[in-house]
Amino acid sequence: MLLCSLLFQRRSRALNALGLAAIIWLLLSPRSLFAPGFQLSFAATAGILLLYPVLSRNLLPESDRLFIVLLVKPVLRVFFVSVSAFAATAPVLMYHFGELSLFGLAANLVAVSLMTVTMNAFFAGTVAFALWPPAATAVMRAAEASLWVTCRIADFGASLPWATIALPVPPVELTLVFVMFLLGLAATGKDSFKGYVSWAAPGMFAVIPLVLLVRTWTMPMETISFSLAEGDIAGIRFPGGNCWLVGAGPETRYNRPYRDAIQPWLRGTLFGRLTTVVLPQTPTNIVHDLEPILQNHDVRELVLCHEPRDPLLQEDLQGFLGEYKVRLNLLHRPTAFVPSPGCTLRVYPGEGHAGYELR
């Protein structure tokens, strides 16, 4: 659309171009609509187009001092681009990955400039290759070096414990409130910006805890089953947020039940707290299978129908549970648990025929 506008000497509109690009993309690949890459790309671009002009128009200092013009304003412009993309992609990141990168806001101050160098060098190298290939090599080396530094910055951010925060999938109500806030912000003018932020931002932050509280305590009990080749795993979420896990699949290189099934389910339970793990059958590699669960959740109790036969494995399990301060509840007869009114979990111990029943 941009090239056509130049050809016909018409003014191009970035949002129209973005919409046209999305339509063409979806016509060629309709399934991309549900892909994180498509959603993140277009959300970030839309956020920059809608929010950056508002932020730069209202928050950039108006001073003409040389220090402000040469240093402060360029840095703030890059920061506003980062904030705009971050705000627009936050709901998508929380839904698909359950994480928000705080380090990215600061890293983008350098990464955006480096990517500008990378892209310009890449296009210059492409043109130079057609004219004089030796010159293209030098230009592409510059693009490679810039991209290498960008990747090292990303690796450094990933190694920091505070670089990302884990969050549950946000309720639909909160996502709508946040999107409406951003759209309202994008529509503000020079005179209405401060007034809108002064009442809309506190209102949005007041709604968030209220919605979370209501959703947490009114959500009914939920049970879900994950079918695995080695058996089934049941997840139970009780009113109030406590969760139980019945069974734990073997963690292998090609089979990751925690990463692929259990963790996404817990993220979708809105602050679900995994407090108890029940194992009707004792896995051969019980410590290895439980490790990702105990590392990421404050499990208080492990219910076993029988201990491992190997004395060394028993000792290893005791030390492992002690490290995470998990209480071991060893069953010797059929036991009924009532974690919540209206829900009864019966566990039947026994060598080779242990099982459970949920009512």
Q: Does 163 lie in the same domain as 102? A: yes
Task: Please give the pLDDT value at position 46.
Answer: 93
Q: Is residue 186 part of a domain?
A: no
Q: Tell which residue, 274, 263, 267, has the closest CA to residue 236.
A: 274
Q: Does 155 lie in the same domain as 41? A: yes
* Position with higher pLDDT, 132 vs 302: 302
Q: Indicate whether 327 pLDDT > 80.
A: yes
Q: Which residue has the tokens 């058996």?
A: 231
* Pairwise CA distance, residues 275 & 236, whole Å: 11
- Percent of the chain predicted with pLDDT > 90: 23
| Least confident residue range of 50-64, 198-212, 254-268, 283-297 | 254-268
* Pairwise CA distance, residues 113 & 82, whole Å: 11
Q: Are 145 and 114 in contact (CB under 8 A)?
A: no
Which of 58-72, 90-104, 182-196, 251-265 reaches the highest mean pLDDT?
182-196
Q: Does 31 lie in the same domain as 135? A: yes
Express the helix, strand and coil content of the chain in percent, nearest 5 each: 60, 15, 25
Domain count, the chain: 2
| Least confident residue range of 23-27, 42-46, 164-168, 227-231 | 227-231
Task: Please give the pLDDT value at position 350.
Answer: 62
Give the pLDDT band of residue 183 (cuts 50, 70, 90).
very high
Q: Is residue 210 part of a domain?
A: no
Q: Indicate whether 6 pLDDT > 70.
A: no
* Pairwise CA distance, residues 262 & 267, whole Å: 9
Q: How many CA atoms lie within 13 A of 113 on its CB side?
A: 11
Q: Does 20 lie in the same domain as 164? A: yes
Last residue of a domain, one of 121, 156, 175: 175
* Pairwise CA distance, residues 189 & 57, whole Å: 9
Give the pLDDT band of residue 253 (cuts 50, 70, 90).
low
- Residue 356's DSSP bridge partners are 347
Q: Does 124 lie in the same domain as 19? A: yes
Q: How many CA atoms lie within 13 A of 283 on its CB side?
A: 21
Q: Is residue 84 part of a domain?
A: yes
Q: Angle, to 10 degrees, between the axis of helix 103-131 and the axis of helix 133-159?
A: 170
Overall pTM > 0.75: no
Q: Is residue 206 part of a domain?
A: no
Q: Is residue 223 part of a domain?
A: yes
Q: Which residue has the tokens 């983008």?
A: 108
Return the CATH number at 247: 3.60.15.10
Last residue of a domain, one of 122, 151, 175: 175
Q: In 3-state terms, what secondary structure has residue 359?
A: coil
Owning domain of residue 117: 2-175
Q: Does 281 lie in the same domain as 135? A: no
* Position with higher pLDDT, 145 vs 332: 145
Q: Does 276 lie in the same domain as 166? A: no
Q: Say which amino acid occupies 247.
A: G
213's CB contacts (< 8 A; 6+ apart) are: none
322's CB contacts (< 8 A; 6+ apart) are: none
330's CB contacts (< 8 A; 6+ apart) are: 304, 306, 307
Q: Is residue 211 part of a domain?
A: no
* Rounded mean pLDDT, 226-243: 77
Over residues 67-86, the pLDDT tens digits come to 887 888 888 888 998 899 99
Last residue of a domain, one of 117, 142, 175: 175
Structure token digits, residue 155: 């690796």
Q: Does 144 lie in the same domain as 288? A: no
Q: Does 253 lie in the same domain as 130? A: no
Q: Are 200 and 54 in contact (CB under 8 A)?
A: no
| Least confident residue range of 5-19, 59-73, 115-129, 308-322 | 5-19
Length reported for the chain: 359
Q: Does 289 lie in the same domain as 165? A: no
Average pLDDT taken over every residue of the chain: 83
Q: Are 81 and 108 in contact (CB under 8 A)?
A: yes
* Rounded mean pLDDT, 46-62: 91
E strands along 59-209, which residues?
Answer: 99-101, 164-166
Q: Is residue 212 part of a domain?
A: no
Over residues 16-34, the pLDDT tens digits come to 888 888 899 999 999 999 9
Q: Is residue 213 part of a domain?
A: no
Q: Are 95 and 34 in contact (CB under 8 A)?
A: no
Q: Tell which residue, 323, 252, 327, 257, has the closest CA to residue 284.
A: 252
Over residues 97-133, the pLDDT tens digits come to 888 888 888 888 888 788 888 888 888 888 888 888 8
Q: Tell which residue, 100, 245, 220, has the closest CA to residue 170.
A: 100
Query: What Rg do the C-alpha atoms of the chain give, in angstroms?
Result: 27
Q: Does 223 lie in the same domain as 317? A: yes
Q: Does 344 lie in the same domain as 285? A: yes
| Least confident residue range of 151-155, 187-191, 355-359 | 355-359
Task: Please give the pLDDT value at position 313.
Answer: 85
Give the pLDDT band of residue 8 (cuts 50, 70, 90).
very low
